[in-house]
Amino acid sequence: MTFPFYVNPEQMTQDKAEFARKGIARGKSIVTLEYASGVLMVAENPLQLQKLGEIYDRISFAGVGKFSEFDRLRKMGVQWADVEGYRFSREDVRGKALANLYSQLLGDEFTRSPKPFEVEIVVAEVGDDELSGHEQNAIYRIGFDGTISDQKHFCAIGGSVENLTSHLEANFQEGLDLPGAVRLGRATLQRAENGSPDLPAESLEIVLLDRDGTGRRFRRLPDEEVASHLG
Amino acid sequence: MRYWDGYRGASFSELLELEHPQLQPKLWRGASEPALGDTGHGTTCLALHFADGALVAGDRLATMGYQVASREIEKVYATDRYSLLAIAGAAGPAIEMARLIRIQFEHREKIEGEPLELEGKANTLAGLVRQNFPAAMQGLAVVPLFAGYDLRRRCGRVWKYEITGGRYEEREFESVGSGAVFAREGLKKSYRPEADRGQAIRTALGALTDAADEDRATGGVDLLRGIYPRIKTCTAQGIEEIPDEEIAEHYQQLLEERRSSGELR
């Protein structure tokens, strides 16, 4: 008869967390911030493979870490949202519910599987003045172990989060216009240890959720528009 | 949410089939008698090419047997930014199909990061119509017209379908529903491929008026209640719904043309 090895749960959790953190820190960072008419997501990403995506009318997704893992999570989010909207109504698809589902999934996998997810994700939801109780924007950050936090105004994920967050804390103002928010997003990403000091428009992937729009509020900014905002 | 064993494709209807079968609109389950008399039916729709793209129009009446079910039903739907769907036939499944196809296009666009080609959209719709075939045999036929602007080929395109899912591209115009024969006769006389927006609207309006005149189940223009047919166009600029006020003006112009030609007295 064989006995399984005894592994100290504290040790195991620490090892897994360290492993996940290392994986995440290798990737480029992403900044999510509010601006006057919505929520903006800015990623350093010169590649065609996208890290930011549309989930539903008022919800967008950002992921850092291992691409195959967070992209699968993004697609699951789209599947969940479209089924939810079909089953009930478009207004019933809510960012908080999705963020909680992600949190549970990542938390379960962290405990259960030998290799935790090497991802960190953000679910952003733009507010709607017509929708009572949902007038405010919401930014949820979900960590590799399922820790979920509700962020106010802005949020950074990926490597060098402390640098980025302190830059945002020092420079963020409420009611920024779109060009101002794009510039702040880029300036923040340039603070990352593995970021480049002068990011051109082509190296930025930028999406937004437009508060003033109707229906699908998600929009991807083309390079030319990003360049004109950067001035 | 299933990470490891969940569905990984980009088709919303396959996702429903595999993970949420209870949500699938399969009406024929348990149906044994034709359900014709007790359900709403939408009547006449048409689609045509014009200079800038494609136009789709439909009257607003739904009938239940020999009675009016609704005077203001919606039969012309924008399925995304560059495509339109008009449905004649059983109203319930038709509305459900319009809802499903819209989600289908949007789902695929979000999953893959880019929209389907217009041809791909037309084929997707064929699949849904085919799925409805058993219900069609129970009297719940859904017969759509699909039109859109093909951004790659830079032209408007129109397709018609039959209940088996067969799809046929139309070069000029097509109409479906109980008043289709009369609408087609009207279109045949007034259709011009190079027509501008205004002419195309009047052509569609004239054909629907003819259909309403001959077919009791087609609504046409209801001046008493101020209900006008629904007309939408799809061009390189996207979809435009023609406002009722503008349709009213074109309708007056149409009546004057017909009076002066001696067709109306």
pLDDT digits (tens, 9 = 90+) for B233-259: 999 999 999 999 999 999 999 999 999
CA dist., res. B4 & res. A126, Å (int): 30
Which one has a higher pLDDT value, A197 or B31? A197
Work out the number of other CB atoms within 10 angstroms of the CB of residue A19.
14
Say if A6 falls within a structural domain.
no
Say if A11 falls within a structural domain.
no
In the residue annotation, B43 being an active-site residue is answered as yes
Q: What is the CA radius of gyration of chain A?
A: 18
Assessment of whether the complete model's pTM goes beyond 0.90: yes
Q: What is the CA radius of gyration of chain B?
A: 19
Q: Which two tokens stand for residue A147?
A: 């820790």
Say if A214 falls within a structural domain.
yes
Work out the number of other CB atoms within 10 angstroms of the CB of residue B25.
16
3 state SS of B194 = coil
Whether the CB-CB separation of A223 and A202 falls below 8 Å is answered with yes
Work out the minimum CA distance from A85 to partner chain B, whole angstroms: 9
| A38-44 sheet: strands from edge to edge | A154-157, A30-35, A38-44, A204-210, A218-220
Q: Does residue A219 register a pLDDT over 70?
A: yes
Show residues of chain A in contact with B3, CB under 8 Å.
72-73, 76, 105, 109
Say if A12 falls within a structural domain.
no
Residues spanned by the domain of A185: 28-230
| Nearest residue to A182 (alpha-carbon basis) of A30, A33, A50, A53 | A33
3 state SS of B175 = strand
Given an 8 Å threshold on Cβ–Cβ distance, is B15 in contact with A72? no
Whether the CB-CB separation of A188 and A168 falls below 8 Å is answered with yes
Please state the length of chain A. 231
Work out the minimum CA distance from B172 to partner chain A, whole angstroms: 33
Q: State the count of interchain CB pairs (< 8 A) between A and B.
A: 50
- What is the signed CA dihedral for A66, A71, A76, A78, rounded to 10 degrees? 150
A interface test, pick of B77, B110, B112 with most A CB neighbours within 10 Å: B110
DSSP code of residue B227 = B
Question: What ipTM does this complex have?
Answer: 0.93
Q: What is the DSSP string of B104-141?
A: HHHHHHHHHSSPPPHHHHHHHHHHHHHHTHHHHHTT--
CATH assignment at residue A34? 3.60.20.10
Show residues of chain B in contact with A216, CB under 8 Å.
106
Alpha helices in B140-243 (DSSP H): 180-190, 197-214
Looking at the 3D structure of chain A, how many domains does it have? Answer: 1
**Chain mean pLDDT for chain A:** 94
Among the ranges given (A188-192, A217-221, B30-34, B183-187), the one the predictor scored with the smallest mean pLDDT: B30-34
Say if A22 falls within a structural domain.
no
Angle between helices B12-19 and A67-87 (to 10 degrees): 80
* pLDDT tens string B166-181: 999 999 999 999 999 9
Q: Does residue A121 register a pLDDT over 90?
A: yes
Q: Does residue B14 register a pLDDT over 90?
A: yes
Q: Which two tokens stand for residue A80?
A: 């969940």
CA dist., res. B191 & res. B50, Å (int): 9
Residue B96's contacts (CB-CB under 8 Å, 6 or more residues apart) are B25
CA distances in angstroms from B194 to B50, B191, B200, B242, B256, listed in the order given = 6, 9, 9, 19, 22
What chain B holds in terms of domains, given with CATH numbers, is 12-260 (3.60.20.10)
Given an 8 Å threshold on Cβ–Cβ distance, is A83 in contact with B23? yes
Given an 8 Å threshold on Cβ–Cβ distance, is B110 in contact with A50? no
Say if A13 falls within a structural domain.
no
Q: Which two tokens stand for residue B10?
A: 């980009």
Say if A111 falls within a structural domain.
yes
Work out the minimum CA distance from B144 to partner chain A, whole angstroms: 21
CA dist., res. A47 & res. A56, Å (int): 24
Identify residue A227 by its one-letter amino acid code.
Answer: A
Say if A8 falls within a structural domain.
no
pLDDT band at B197 (very low <50, low <70, confident <90, very high): very high
- Give the percent of chain B with pLDDT over 70: 94
pLDDT band at B34 (very low <50, low <70, confident <90, very high): low
Given an 8 Å threshold on Cβ–Cβ distance, is A79 in contact with B15? yes
Q: Does residue B217 register a pLDDT over 70?
A: yes
Given an 8 Å threshold on Cβ–Cβ distance, is A105 in contact with B15? no
pLDDT band at A1 (very low <50, low <70, confident <90, very high): low
